[in-house]
């Protein structure tokens, strides 16, 4: 699998398997994804949408099959109280700094590791701008990075203005940004442009579920026919060629293999422009 290198010199596999909404099937699906060829796994310490502990069970099973933890890229997130239910992985009455540390240590235990490849803030506390809570949490995440326990740090679900502010004022700017990506909103082009300028890796999720209307267009069908692939693979290849690192959450083994096959063909510059303008 191809890799992308962050500004601090760390390589990330160019396609990532996402574990949101997998519930009890998480462990089996992570093993299936890795056996299909995925080397990067995304999760979060948030039981509302993820089961991080079952990702850890999968890692133990894979280790018994000869696939070591060091051969995989693990990414997880700190989720604020507003994104949790009653099952918080930290003391909700503790300081935000302590909440981050407690959640991080919990993630290490869940994933049976002593370091993470990527650690992210799941989403800012503020709807507009960045408030004191965001800065306290980011400082705590910077501390984890500076301690060497996370090889890179990042943010998710951030607007362009928030990302600009973080890059301007943070001691350590993020290495990765993970956002939901809508064709109708220019495939998050404002955030992607900041990432390009700041040398930050952009991870796109919901590329399929948020863009069903694009997948069904005749134009995508025609491109798929030309490259000998399906519409889903065309969207993933498009995302990679315009500089994204895509996430997929498919539960189908053949689809996992098909998604990874998208690295084996290229779209023309005209096709890339055509897809980029779809939905606008």
9: CATH: 3.20.20.100
* Domain annotation covers residue 273: no
* Domain annotation covers residue 68: yes
> Range of 180's domain?
3-211+243-251
For residue 174, give both structure tokens. Answer: 């993020």
Q: For every one of its 280 residues, what pLDDT tens digit does the chain have, with 9 covering 90 and above?
A: 899 999 999 999 999 999 999 999 999 999 999 999 999 999 999 999 999 999 999 999 999 999 999 999 999 999 999 999 999 999 999 999 999 999 999 999 999 999 999 999 999 999 999 999 999 999 999 999 999 999 999 999 999 999 999 999 999 999 999 999 999 999 999 999 999 999 999 999 999 999 999 999 999 999 999 999 999 999 999 999 999 999 999 999 999 999 999 999 999 999 999 999 998 8
* Domain annotation covers residue 155: yes
* Domain annotation covers residue 166: yes
Reported pTM: 0.97
* Domain annotation covers residue 225: no
Number of domains in the chain: 1
Residues 6+ apart with CB under 8 A from 117: 10, 12, 40, 73, 74, 75, 150, 151, 152
CB atoms within 10 A of CB 128: 9
- The residues facing 75 across adjacent strands are 42, 118
For residue 183, give both structure tokens. Answer: 């064709």
* Domain annotation covers residue 272: no
* Domain annotation covers residue 147: yes
What distance in Å separates the CA atoms of residue 237 and residue 253, rounded to the nearest whole number? 19
* Domain annotation covers residue 268: no
């Amino acid at each position: 699998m191809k890799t992308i290198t962050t500004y601090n010199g760390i390589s990330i596999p160019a396609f990532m398997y996402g574990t949101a909404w997998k519930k009890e099937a998480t462990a089996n699906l992570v093993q299936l994804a890795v056996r299909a060829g995925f080397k990067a796994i995304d999760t979060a310490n948030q039981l509302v949408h993820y089961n991080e502990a079952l990702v850890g069970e999968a890692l133990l099973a894979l280790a018994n099959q000869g696939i070591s933890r060091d051969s995989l890229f693990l990414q997880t997130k700190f989720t604020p109280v507003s994104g949790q239910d009653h099952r918080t992985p930290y003391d909700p009455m503790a300081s935000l700094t302590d909440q981050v540390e407690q959640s991080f240590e919990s993630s290490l235990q869940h994933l049976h590791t002593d370091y993470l490849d990527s650690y992210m803030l799941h989403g800012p506390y503020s709807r507009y701008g960045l408030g004191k809570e965001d800065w306290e949490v980011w400082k705590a995440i910077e501390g984890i990075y500076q301690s060497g326990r996370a090889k890179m740090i990042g943010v998710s679900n951030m607007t362009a203005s928030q990302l600009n502010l973080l890059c301007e004022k943070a001691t350590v700017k993020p290495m990765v940004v993970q956002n939901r990506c809508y064709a109708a909103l220019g495939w998050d082009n404002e955030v992607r442009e900041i990432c390009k300028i700041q040398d930050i890796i952009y991870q796109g999720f919901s590329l399929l579920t948020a863009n069903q209307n694009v997948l069904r267009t005749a134009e995508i069908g025609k491109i798929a026919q030309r490259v000998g692939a399906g519409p889903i693979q065309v969207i993933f290849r498009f995302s990679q060629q315009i500089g994204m690192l895509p996430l997929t959450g498919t539960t189908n083994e053949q689809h996992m293999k098909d998604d990874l096959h998208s690295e084996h063909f290229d779209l023309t510059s005209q096709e890339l422009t055509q897809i980029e303008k779809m939905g606008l």
